């Protein structure tokens, strides 16, 4: 049975003042012994989640029911990101050593290991795909070089392109395996990856990760708990990064920035998010939602001003790849949907 529990309700006034928009969070699931950070919403009916202790779940009826399982043999693995292509096909990736990437083609009934790395220093943060074939996963640096894996066959095989890409990070600079959204692909081979820690930068590629450029971001940084945690782009120019300091998750200063030139320059919003946020997503050209451990915020003006929707904790938010459904997920198996009505 679907759990119907309104977390919060408020009216957001659009800048013209002509009408108000009702935004609600509707709880779909909670209580499972897993912290969900991986989320992939395929369409308006199908979504997958992944989390700690080997747990994954799938719905095919817009969250009314969920099929939960601990992946056999991986009960101690933390699956920090998931990429689903349909109700039958999906990939999950772990954080920490060993790095494992698993694939299913039968709706999660069976899983096959398509990549494994047992080096003790390996730690991957997330993955994203341009289509059902081409994708990339990224991880923390080894010997100062960001780790990158590329696939052209939907994750059935992976190539280590770290040395070729040669993304050099400074000591203490790394990614965050917080929501799987520190990496984003766009059409035409564009890609963005955000970092934090000692230094926070946005790395960008226009050729499917073959070559990269880097630009500093003024988001809070300098400590291991600070930096860019999530990226969202409406197109190749207009985007937003969120993050902050997860150890001070109600601190608002320097936690969200906007770009109109693909990350070359950054501007703060007039009213920022209400604390640390580990995920941000475009719902429309001017509508965004951001989520973190201290709450959920919504913007109706392209990220210039933000209003708090709820102070409930979530790790990740995603919109359907093909559709309008918006899903959030977090600790203790919590899953909710965002509903926006004029």
Indicate whether 3 belongs to any domain. no
pLDDT tens, 273-317?
Answer: 999 999 999 999 999 999 999 999 999 999 999 999 999 999 999
Indicate whether 10 belongs to any domain. no
Considering only residues 5 and 82, tell me which one the structure prediction assigns the higher pLDDT.
82
Indicate whether 35 belongs to any domain. yes
CA count, 13 A, side-chain hemisphere, 181 = 30
Indicate whether 34 belongs to any domain. yes
What is the number of domains present in the chain?
1
| Structural domain boundaries, residue 80 | 28-341
For the domain that residue 228 is a member of, what is the CATH number? Answer: 2.130.10.10
pLDDT tens, 16-69?
Answer: 333 356 888 999 999 999 999 999 999 999 999 999 999 999 999 999 999 999
Residue 107, classified by CB atoms within 10 Å of its CB into exposed (0-12), middle (13-18) or buried (19+), is middle
Indicate whether 184 belongs to any domain. yes
Q: Is the dihedral of CA 291, 295, 300, 301 positive or negative?
A: negative
Indicate whether 1 belongs to any domain. no
* pTM of the entire predicted model: 0.94
Indicate whether 182 belongs to any domain. yes
Indicate whether 17 belongs to any domain. no
* End-to-end Cα distance, the chain: 28
């Amino acid at each position: 049975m679907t759990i119907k529990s309104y977390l919060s309700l408020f009216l957001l006034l659009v800048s013209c003042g002509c009408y108000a928009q009702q935004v609600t969070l509707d709880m779909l699931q909670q209580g499972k012994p897993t912290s969900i950070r991986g989320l992939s919403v395929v369409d308006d009916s199908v979504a997958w989640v992944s989390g700690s202790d080997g747990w994954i779940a799938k719905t095919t009826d817009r969250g009314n029911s969920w099929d939960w399982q601990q992946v056999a043999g991986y009960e101690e693995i933390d699956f920090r990101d998931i990429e689903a292509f349909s109700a039958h096909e999906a990939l999950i990736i772990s954080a920490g050593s060993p790095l494992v990437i698993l694939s299913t083609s039968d709706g999660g009934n069976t899983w096959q290991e398509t990549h494994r790395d047992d080096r003790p220093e390996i730690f991957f943060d997330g993955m994203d795909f341009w289509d059902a074939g081409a994708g990339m996963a990224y991880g923390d640096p080894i010997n100062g070089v960001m780790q990158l894996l590329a696939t052209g066959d939907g994750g059935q095989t992976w190539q280590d392109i770290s040395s070729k890409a040669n993304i050099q990070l400074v000591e203490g600079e790394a990614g965050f395996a917080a929501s799987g959204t520190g990496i984003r692909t766009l059409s035409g081979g564009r890609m963005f990856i955000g970092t934090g820690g000692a230094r926070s930068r946005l790395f960008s590629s226009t050729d499917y990760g073959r070559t990269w450029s880097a630009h500093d971001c003024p988001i809070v940084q300098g400590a291991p708990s600070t930096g860019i945690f999530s990226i969202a782009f409406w197109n190749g120019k207009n985007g937003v990064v969120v993050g902050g300091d997860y150890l001070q998750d109600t601190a608002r200063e320097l936690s969200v920035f906007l770009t109109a030139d693909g990350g070359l320059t950054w501007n703060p919003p007039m009213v920022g998010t209400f604390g640390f946020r580990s995920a941000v997503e475009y719902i429309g050209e001017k509508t965004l939602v951001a989520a973190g451990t201290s709450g959920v915020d919504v913007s109706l003006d392209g990220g210039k001003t933000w209003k708090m929707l709820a102070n409930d904790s979530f790790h990740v938010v995603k919109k359907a790849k093909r559709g309008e459904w918006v899903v959030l997920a977090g600790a203790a198996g919590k899953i909710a949907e965002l509903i926006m009505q004029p």
